[in-house]
Structure 1
Amino acid sequence: MYLSEIELRNFRNYENRKVAFSPGINVFIGENAQGKTNLLEAIYVLAMTRSHRTANDRELINWQAKEALVKGTVIKQTGRVPLEVLLGTRGKRVKVNHLFQSRLSTYIGNLNVVLFAPEDLALVKGAPQERRQFMDTEFSQMSSRYLYAISQFRGLLKQRNEYLKQLKYGGQADQVLLDVLSDQLADSGAAVMAMRFKLIKRLETWSAQLHDHISQQKEVLKLKYISQVMVEDETTEKEIATQLQNLYHEHLAQEIKLGTTLYGPQRDDIRFLVNDQDVHRFGSQGQQRTTALSVKLAEIDLMNEQTGEYPLLLLDDVLSELDDDRQTHLLTAIQDKVQTFLTTTSLSGVARQLINRPTIFQIAHGTIDKEDIK
């Protein structure tokens, strides 16, 4: 798939702009605070209905306006798909093929993206929450079943936690209600955990191949799914659900005391191992960068494997964080493979040599000037 064009109205510093893109590599060049990352952010919003930079949609709307519009046309193997995201005081509204969608879950997956920014090093060296967010963002694009399961789980988790807090402060216990909430949470949690385990195994396969190449066969990368229950190749969802139900029953008193659910996919993690050493704890900065790069590039192949379409790749000022060797591996891996959007203050000599016929956009003060390099 690729994004043929995007139209912005009152989005950040863009009052009214329409831009056509190349199916290949699109480079946004400009000084800081000129709008190049805003343009990349708009593409992400068109795909995910939310920003990767802020949780407050009001920040996306030009301060002089009441609503912002992001429209685009996606070209897929099945044809053209017009998409639209409207952000305003009445909340968020989305359209696919000019038809309003009552649920965001029917919208997400029409345009898939992989984002790689300097802060994505937190995927390796950051907190477990960063890696859970990574799983949910990427796997939700690949699988509508995963998106449904994680959405259902979050809703049930919120309900159960609210009920546990009531009990913590002396509320009357309704054992039937508590059992129903616990059983439903265990079932939805088991679905999430089973899919996470399988998709991480596939991500490991793709990541290991890339890491082997980037490290020149000196390092072996492994990904390990970390959960509070036993999940293996042959473990069924029912078996996972039973384990969770037992944990909820055994530790109910502690959960009531703390007013929160202590077990489930909300406590999951991923461990990255290079030559059997935990990269988070023992890896050098170079190993952490190579691991993050390998995993991000592997997402591209995994999404294609799971959906039949390659995603868009969004590179937000990431070249400046990579040395020449890693730049070479990155740009070689994406060349003629996926539509790419890259922001930078300037292209390095390595990048100019490796990018085949890029489409250059000069960004300044919210204006976008296209310059095709032959």
Structure 2
Amino acid sequence: MKLQALALHNFRNYDDVTVAFGDGVNVLLGENAQGKTNLLEAIYFLALARNHRTSSDRDLINWQAETAQVKGRVQKASGNTPLELDLSKHGKRAKVNHLEQAKLSRYVGQLNVILFAPEDLSLVKGAPQIRRRFMDMEFGQMSQKYLYNLSQYRTILKQRNKYLKELGAKQQKDLVLLDVLSDQLANYGAQIMFQRITFLKQLETWAAQIHQEISQQRETLTFHYATSIADDALVDTAHIYEALKAGYAAKRDKELFQRTTLLGPHRDDLKFIVNDKDVASFGSQGQQRTTALSVKLAEIDLMHEQTGEYPVLLLDDVLSELDDMRQTHLLTAIQDKVQTFLTTTSLSGVAQKLIHQPKIFTINNGQISSESDDGDEDASADAADDETNGI
């Protein structure tokens, strides 16, 4: 899978930009606050129809404009696919092959991306919601069923929490509707949890191998899906469903008192275990970074295994956070394997030696100029328009 071209209109600090990319490593070079991360953000948004930095889509629109647009052309084994997202104060519209999609779940998955930024190092030691979001974003790209179940679960969870608040304020409590909502929530919750467990087992296989390579066979990485459901109930959706139902019944009084749902995948966590110890609590900073890197690289292989296509890799200033050894492993692993977009203020040292024939883009105040790896300018605005014809 490759992103051949991208066109932006009023997106962040880009007024009107059209750019064609290389199939290998695309280096986005420039000083801070010039738009490098914004360009990666546009690619991420084109893929998932949501922003990784803010929950407000309005923040993506240039402050001087009322609407914004992101368009791209994706090359896959099955052919080229134009994608388009239109943003306004009324919401967003998604198009595939110029046809508007009624549901975003039918749009997501047309372009698969993996983002690795400095804040992703907190995947290991950060709050549980970071790891839940990681699972939802990555697994959602690989399975429309997962996205659908997640959407339904969130809708019912919101309804159930609202009803718990209403019940908590009443003397007489009608629990019939609560039982109905509990049953629905357990149904979708069980499917989400079983899908997570299935994907995590597959991801663990890839990550464990990569972690051993980086640690030179000194460390073993395993995953543990942490939930309040007993481990022996995690064998299939039916057993998880029954365990969730029993859990809601057992916690009913506590939930009515606290007026919120205390059980389910929205409360679960993912633990990374290195040499039989929770690396978040007992691991060194080096072990935590190796774990985060192993998981991100494993995602590449898992997405390929699940979809038949390698994803696009977005590296946002991550090289500056890795030592030479981990830089070397990262750049060696992706070389000639996945299309990569890498932001940096300076391409030097290890990176310069390891990246073969990069396509370099200099970004300055929302303007993009392209040059080949020998420094010759090779892309005018007209040439870019020719290459991006069709998006």
Same fold (TM over 0.5): yes
Separation in structure 1 between the aligned mates of residue 76 and residue 109 of structure 2, nearest angstrom: 12
* Contact kept in structure 2, 1:115 and 1:315, CA below 8 Å: yes
Shift in alpha-carbon separation, 1:347–1:232, aligned structure 2, 3 A: farther
Separation in structure 1 between the aligned mates of residue 124 and residue 234 of structure 2, nearest angstrom: 28
* Contact kept in structure 1, 2:117 and 2:316, CA below 8 Å: yes
Partner of 2:218: 218
Partner of 1:157: 157
Separation in structure 2 between the aligned mates of residue 280 and residue 304 of structure 1, nearest angstrom: 28
The structural deviation recorded for 1:286 is: 0.6
* Contact kept in structure 1, 2:233 and 2:240, CA below 8 Å: no
Shift in alpha-carbon separation, 1:170–1:70, aligned structure 2, 3 A: same
Shift in alpha-carbon separation, 1:150–1:256, aligned structure 2, 3 A: same
Residue deviations 1:152-193 (CA, integer Å, cap 9, x gap): 111111111100000111175333211111101001000000
Separation in structure 1 between the aligned mates of residue 172 and residue 137 of structure 2, nearest angstrom: 38
Partner of 2:326: 326
* Contact kept in structure 2, 1:194 and 1:231, CA below 8 Å: no
Partner of 2:239: 239
Any residues of structure 2 matched to 1:104-119 within 5 Å, and which? 104-119=104-119
Residue deviations 1:275-303 (CA, integer Å, cap 9, x gap): 11111001111111000000000001011
Matched residue SS, 2:245: helix
The structural deviation recorded for 1:246 is: 0.6
Separation in structure 2 between the aligned mates of residue 127 and residue 175 of structure 1, nearest angstrom: 33
Partner of 2:283: 283
Any residues of structure 2 matched to 1:289-300 within 5 Å, and which? 289-300=289-300
Matched residue SS, 2:45: helix
Shifted more, 252-261 versus 174-183: the winner is 174-183
* Contact kept in structure 1, 2:233 and 2:243, CA below 8 Å: no
The structural deviation recorded for 1:365 is: 1.1
Matched residue SS, 1:262: coil
Separation in structure 1 between the aligned mates of residue 106 and residue 37 of structure 2, nearest angstrom: 27
Matched residue SS, 1:71: strand
Residue deviations 1:289-323 (CA, integer Å, cap 9, x gap): 00000000000101111111111000000000001
Residue deviations 1:195-241 (CA, integer Å, cap 9, x gap): 11111111110000000001111111111111111345971201100
* Contact kept in structure 1, 2:72 and 2:83, CA below 8 Å: yes
Residue deviations 1:28-52 (CA, integer Å, cap 9, x gap): 0000000111111000000011111
Shift in alpha-carbon separation, 1:128–1:3, aligned structure 2, 3 A: same
Matched residue SS, 1:18: strand
Separation in structure 1 between the aligned mates of residue 148 and residue 156 of structure 2, nearest angstrom: 12
* Contact kept in structure 2, 1:12 and 1:62, CA below 8 Å: yes
Matched residue SS, 2:240: helix
Matched residue SS, 2:33: coil
Partner of 2:92: 92
TM-score by length of 1: 0.98
Separation in structure 1 between the aligned mates of residue 25 and residue 198 of structure 2, nearest angstrom: 32
* Contact kept in structure 2, 1:197 and 1:231, CA below 8 Å: no
Shift in alpha-carbon separation, 1:73–1:231, aligned structure 2, 3 A: farther
Separation in structure 2 between the aligned mates of residue 309 and residue 172 of structure 1, nearest angstrom: 56
Shift in alpha-carbon separation, 1:172–1:86, aligned structure 2, 3 A: farther
The structural deviation recorded for 1:337 is: 0.5
Matched residue SS, 1:75: strand
Amino acid at match of 2:201: K
Amino acid at match of 1:327: Q
Separation in structure 1 between the aligned mates of residue 349 and residue 37 of structure 2, nearest angstrom: 22
Any residues of structure 2 matched to 1:348-363 within 5 Å, and which? 348-363=348-363
Amino acid at match of 1:166: E
Separation in structure 2 between the aligned mates of residue 366 and residue 251 of structure 1, nearest angstrom: 53
Matched residue SS, 2:196: helix
Separation in structure 1 between the aligned mates of residue 232 and residue 364 of structure 2, nearest angstrom: 52
* Contact kept in structure 2, 1:9 and 1:17, CA below 8 Å: yes
Question: Identity of paired residues, percent?
Answer: 63
How many residue pairs align between the two structures? 374
**Which consecutive residues of structure 2, in runs of 5 or more, have no partner in the other structure?**
375-391
Partner of 2:339: 339
Separation in structure 2 between the aligned mates of residue 311 and residue 232 of structure 1, nearest angstrom: 34
Any residues of structure 2 matched to 1:10-159 within 5 Å, and which? 10-159=10-159
Separation in structure 2 between the aligned mates of residue 56 and residue 262 of structure 1, nearest angstrom: 27
Shift in alpha-carbon separation, 1:233–1:186, aligned structure 2, 3 A: closer
RMSD: 1.1
TM-score by length of 2: 0.94
Residue deviations 1:66-101 (CA, integer Å, cap 9, x gap): 000000000011111100011111111110010011
Matched residue SS, 2:70: strand
Residue deviations 1:221-266 (CA, integer Å, cap 9, x gap): 1111111113459712011000000111111111001000111111
Matched residue SS, 1:146: helix
Separation in structure 2 between the aligned mates of residue 172 and residue 123 of structure 1, nearest angstrom: 44
**Which consecutive residues of structure 1, in runs of 5 or more, have no partner in the other structure?**
none
Separation in structure 2 between the aligned mates of residue 41 and residue 279 of structure 1, nearest angstrom: 30
Matched residue SS, 2:52: coil
Separation in structure 2 between the aligned mates of residue 58 and residue 225 of structure 1, nearest angstrom: 35
